[in-house]
């Protein structure tokens, strides 16, 4: 049952009564001195410090998220710029390839024409040398024939006609 209603519990010789009274006096002194206010002030200060730390953490988190968003944006811009640079480089490479092919074809054509001109010049020179050598040989042969004719005094009409045609054919 309930101890409060038992006989002898409220007797002043009961030590439990005095412990309870002492406890009430102790709590009264603590209240009179202002311990609850000090404890509340300490708890409020601790709470304020914790709240300041939480606010600082929230601010730092917001800054970190903003920095992360900025970094992601810069990364996307850098990737887009790199892609543009790659596209431009590929276009430049294709353009340079076309230009190089055109220049190479032009150079090859020019060299081919120069080689053909040199060949034609060499052919003309060789032809001129052959004609000159043939003319020299014909002149020497004619000289020998004329010298032999003069020495022998005989005339050959075919030989005279051939010698007359040599000059026309060589020029």
* CB 127 within 8 Å of CB 135: no
Enumerate the domain spans of the chain.
15-170
- 3-state SS string for the chain: CCHHHCCCCCCCCCHHHHHHHHHHHHHHHHHHHCHHHHHHHHHHHHHHHHHHHHHHHHHHHHHHHHHHHHHHHHHHHHHHHHHHHHHHHHHHHHHHHHHHHHHHHHHHHHHHHHHHHHHHHHHHHHHHHHHHHHHHHHHHHHHHHHHHHHHHCCCCHHHHHHHHHHHHHHC
> What does the pLDDT look like over 63-116, one tens digit per residue?
999 999 999 999 999 999 999 999 999 999 999 999 999 999 999 999 999 999
At 59, the pLDDT band (50, 70, 90 cuts) reads very high
152 pLDDT higher than 70: no
Better pLDDT: 131 or 29: 29
Residues across the chain: 171
d(CA 160, CA 171): 18
Residue with tokens 């353009």: 95
Distance, C-alpha 132 to centroid of its chain? 67
d(CA 108, CA 125): 25
At 137, the pLDDT band (50, 70, 90 cuts) reads confident
The per-residue pLDDT of the chain, averaged, comes to 87
């Amino acid at each position: 049952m309930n101890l409060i209603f038992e006989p002898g519990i409220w007797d002043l010789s009961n030590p439990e009564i005095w412990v309870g009274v002492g406890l009430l006096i102790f709590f009264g002194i603590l209240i009179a001195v202002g311990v609850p206010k000090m404890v509340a002030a300490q708890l409020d200060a601790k709470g304020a410090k914790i709240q300041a730390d939480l606010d600082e953490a929230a601010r730092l988190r917001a800054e970190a998220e903003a920095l992360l968003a900025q970094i992601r944006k810069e990364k996307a811009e850098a990737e887009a710029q790199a892609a543009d640079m790659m596209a431009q480089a590929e276009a430049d490479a294709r353009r340079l390839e076309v230009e190089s092919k055109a220049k190479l074809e032009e150079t090859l054509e020019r060299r081919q024409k120069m080689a053909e001109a040199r060949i034609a010049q060499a052919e003309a020179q060789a032809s001129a040398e052959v004609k000159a050598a043939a003319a020299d040989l014909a002149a020497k042969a004619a000289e020998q024939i004329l010298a032999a004719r003069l020495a022998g005094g005989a005339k050959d009409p075919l030989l005279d006609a051939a010698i007359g045609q040599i000059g026309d054919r060589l020029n």
